[in-house]
A and B are shown apart, each in its own frame.
Chain A
Amino acid sequence: METFPLLKELSETPGLPGHEGPVREAVRRLWTPLVDDLREDGLGSLIGLKRGSAPEPRPRLMLAAHMDEVGLRVTGFEKGFLRIARVGGTDRRVMPGIEVVVHGRRDLPGIVGMRPPHVVPQEQRNKPVPWEELFIDLGLPEEEIQEWVRVGDPVSFSRELVELKNGLAAGKALDNRASVAAVTLALEQLGRMEHAWDVVAVATVQEEVGLYGAATSAYGVAPDMAVAVDVTFGQQPGVSADESFPLGEGPTVGVGPNFHPQVVERLKATAEAQEIPYHIEPTPGRSGTDAWAIQVAREGVPTGLVSIPLRYMHQPVETVALKDVERAARLLASFAAGLEADFRPRWEDEG
């Protein structure tokens, strides 16, 4: 699979928390030829099983990437315009002047309107527009809006994925479709590789509102080990190098209480053996990713985290390096294929 078209399809397909339907169908189409079994759990996470070669009962590795994206929701109507609230950590500072799609009884394109500078007093221009003053214009008569749109309807950003210089891609929802793309590419590579463990790829739901899909799917999969795949802060102007990672220099591997040391060691060893560049991402507490929920599923799951550096998180211009997506994929596939049938992450003093 070519990375850019794959990422473009995943990025441009809508999938708000709790409304992941369209992106789930896109992932289903992509994964169907790559896995032995595909199912959906009660919350809507998509679970693909790729069987390993070890004798039963085979150990299971869960690879989790959330497929939901931040966005908006319709909260009311005023003079033929829609009032909105955010779903997940949407950044209101980027809202004025952007194009959206309202997912009502049918999909309706719209604009988050902004009054022109000619009529806005100077003192107002020094403050970001508060949520309660933002609105969507569908360019339709009020009666038609009443017919198609109801309070609660989800709203997604409308943005084409574009390729920037040096193999960067910019668009919406790359948090976390970049990782869904990486898991998809990893499944494709695993089709050409021998692997002892079962690999269970999960496109989780509702990460942006509380890691809910990861919690239920980890319970359902009951993995022996898990690696969550997400995005992390990419280096960009205005952000300290201490809290961000350069684009194009490979994925990051998380270290900290959220991650089992042996999973971390294996990820590092795999990257080094495969000559995949990576950075260590120190995570002193909550990782804010699916890994946080998966680690405490059932009796506990040894968990790791691979992240793709991304600029402008939660804005419709999220930017990643295609090479980092491909490297994350290679790391995940090689990591999975390298697991011996009898390997289990253990503590050194476990006895």
Chain B
Amino acid sequence: MILKELSEAFGPSGYETPVRQLLRQALEGHVDRIWVDALGNLHTEKRGTGEDRLRVLVTAHMDEIGLMVVGHDDSGTLKVRPVGGIDPRVLPGAQVWVGPDRIPGVIGLKPVHLLEEGEAEKVAPIEQLRVDVGAKGKEEAKNLAPVGTVAVFATRFRELGPTVMGKAFDDRAGCAVLAELVRGEPFPHDLHGVFTVQEEVGLRGARVAAYAARPDCAFALEGTIADDLPKEKDVSPTTEMGKGPAITVMDRTFIAHRGLVRLLVETAEGVGIPYQFKQPGVGGTDSGAIHLAREGVPCVTVAVPCRYIHSPVSLLSLADFENTVRLMREALARLTRRTIS
């Protein structure tokens, strides 16, 4: 399963090379053109079979959240800062891979036995946390992991039955969906599939990719928040695992094109694929950059619901994954110029 390889690949924002290499290998021979741009986005082009062909951009981001080394302690531990959005409460107790060579490291806290009054009620900010790679002192730590070295959670992919768990499903799930689309039969329209960089630090890759692609319309594929969890104030689950692909009508960064939303809904209902709408106003995706490219691009986000994103281990339903691939395939087959006019 390409999702397993993608999930275990090393690639925080700006350091996506191992993910890109993996995808390039998987996609060569299935596309008419494949290239890398100045920021590191992986572009693919697959010519369509139809007469009146649209240029359809489909993106998924390769980067994942992680940590960056910003300094070293005399004791030999590493000081780090987050790459992308991380709740510091998920860091203590985690095992990490430091650098693309995956030097094992751990993040521990002062033992619970030695805490002072009230200390147990405090969250250690990331500035106080240290990554321990076993270095004996500052010099060794600097040699092993110089300032600027990046790290990711050390999590192995695992199948639980109807669900799978692993790190970085945001957005390696989207990458796996896009890889399936690119590797399948050609569509009537020209498919410009881009695996983008630096989504987690501000949708940077998508911005230049969309400019270069000059698309007629675009789909951003994501692994998005499923907050269908036990919690006190249950306003919305955002999305629910197992209820099918999630269509975004609006989030913090864009409003989806109504024609594309209609296409997805009518396709899902016509073919009989479960689907859901993501709670409006939550999160942001590459669509936020793509819809503003040049003179504007009709855009929508389709996502596989994933629980516990931005933590060491996320969870998704394989049925949701398959249904996202199916929905995208069927929708791209039904897309016409009228959809976006």
The answer for the CA separation of A243 and B114 in the assembled complex, in Å, is 9
Give A106-120 as 1s and 0s: 1 = Cβ < 8 Å from B's Cβ atoms.
001111011111111
Does A342 belong to the interface (CB within 8 Å)? no
CB distance from A9 to the nearest CB of B (A): 18
Contact B311 A96 (CB under 8 A): yes
- What's the minimum C-beta distance from A52 to chain B, rounded to whole angstroms? 37
Q: Contacts of A141 on B, CB cut-off 8 Å?
A: 162
Does A137 interact with chain B (Cβ within 8 Å)? yes
CB neighbors of B among A166-211 (8 A): 166-168, 170
Q: Is the CB of A165 within 8 A of B140?
A: yes
A216 to B47, CA, bound (A): 76
Rounded to whole angstroms, the CA-CA distance of A162 and B97 in the bound complex is: 11
Residues of A within 8 A of B111 (CB): 91, 233, 239, 312-315
- Output the nearest chain B residue to A157 by Cβ-Cβ distance: B93
Q: Are B225 and A118 in contact (CB under 8 A)?
A: yes
Interface string of A228-258 (1 = CB under 8 A from B): 0000010111110001000000000000000
Instruction: Report A-chain residues with C-beta under 8 Å of the C-beta of B107.
Output: 317
A152-169: which residues lie under 8 A (CB-CB) from chain B?
159-160, 162-168
Whether B133 contacts A159 by the Cβ 8 Å rule is: no
Q: Flag if A166 contacts B109 (CB, 8 Å).
A: no
Partner of B307, one of A109, A137, A144, A233: A137
On whether the beta carbons of A312 and B75 are closer than 8 Å, the reply is: no
Give Cα distance in the complex from A116 to B105, angstroms.
23
Contact A79 to B120, CB < 8 A, known contacts A96-B89, A116-B310: no
Interface of chain B, main secondary structure: loop
Interface string of B10-29 (1 = CB under 8 A from A): 00000000000000000000
**B282 to A315, Cβ gap below 8 A?**
no
In the assembled complex, which residues on chain B have CB atoms less than 8 Å from the CB atom of A238?
109-110, 128
Counting chain A residues whose Cβ lies within 8 A of the other chain, the interface size class is 35 or more
The docked-state distance in angstroms from the alpha carbon of A239 to that of B313 is: 29
Chain B, Cβ-Cβ closest to A81: B230
Q: With A137-B307, A315-B108, A316-B93 in contact, do A166 and B134 touch (Cβ < 8 Å)?
A: yes
Q: CB distance A140 to B163 under 8 Å? A: yes
Contact status B89-A115, CB under 8 Å: no
Q: Provide the residues of chain B in CB contact with A83, threshold 8 Å.
A: 230
Inter-subunit contact A164/B312 (CB<8 Å): no
User: In the complex, what's the smallest C-beta–C-beta distance from B20 to chain A, in angstroms?
Assistant: 25
Residues of B within 8 A of A111 (CB): 165, 307-308, 313, 315
Can you report 14 residue pairs joining A to B where beta carbons are below 8 Å apart?
A93-B124, A94-B92, A97-B312, A113-B308, A114-B87, A114-B90, A118-B282, A120-B87, A133-B232, A139-B160, A237-B73, A315-B92, A315-B108, A319-B108
- Residue ranges of B at the interface with A (Cβ–Cβ < 8 Å): 73, 75, 77, 85-90, 92-95, 103-114, 120-124, 128, 130, 132-136, 140, 144, 154-155, 158, 160-165, 225, 227-232, 238, 282-283, 307-313, 315
